[in-house]
Structures are given as C-alpha cells and as structure tokens.
Amino acid sequence: MPKESPEPPEELLEREGISEEEFWEQMYERYGLTREEFWEMYWDYVREVGKEKADEYFFPEFEEEEEEAAMKPEPDEGEEAEGW
C-alpha cells in the first residue's frame, strides 16, 4: 500500500489563519515530529480509532478555553465568617 503524503485540511488552515508552512512549524513544536513522522503517527491513529477521533486529537478546536472559564469555582464564603 503506497504511503500518502496528505496536506493539512484546508478548513484547518483557514480556521487558524495560518499558512501550510506555519502549520508544519507548529506541528513540529507541538509534537517534535517531522512532517513524515507526523503523518505516519496520524495514519496509525486513524487506523486505531477512526478518522473523526484522530482529527479531534491532532487538529483540536479551541473550545476548551470557553469550557474552562464556565467551570471556575465560586469564591469561598467561609473566610467572611472568620471575623466573628
């Protein structure tokens, strides 16, 4: 089976507002892998869990920040009662 040399998804590049070159620089910084090593790892993961889950893992959307902000704990009211 010939190895594919796919390109990053166009919608990802548009969503992130980056060029393909910037994409590969970020992937090297994030995973420490060359382009070829990255795609080998990606396609192995696709075979294990499916393309949708692999895309979620390797090309995450940045919704996590919104979820974290919504989960901030309430301030502790016990400190106010200590004055008595």
Name the residue ranges covered by the structural domains of the chain: 1-59
Amino acid occupying residue 77:
E
Q: For residue 6, what pLDDT is reported?
A: 61
Q: For residue 80, what pLDDT is reported?
A: 53
Kindly report the pTM of this predicted structure. Answer: 0.51
Q: For residue 77, what pLDDT is reported?
A: 54
39 touches 5 (CB < 8 A): yes
Residue 45, helix vs strand vs coil: helix
Which residues in the chain land under pLDDT 70? 1-8, 61-84
Q: Give the separation between CA 6 and CA 54, rounded to whole angstroms.
A: 14
Q: For residue 49, what pLDDT is reported?
A: 97
The C-alpha R_g of the chain, in whole angstroms, comes to 20
Q: For residue 81, what pLDDT is reported?
A: 53
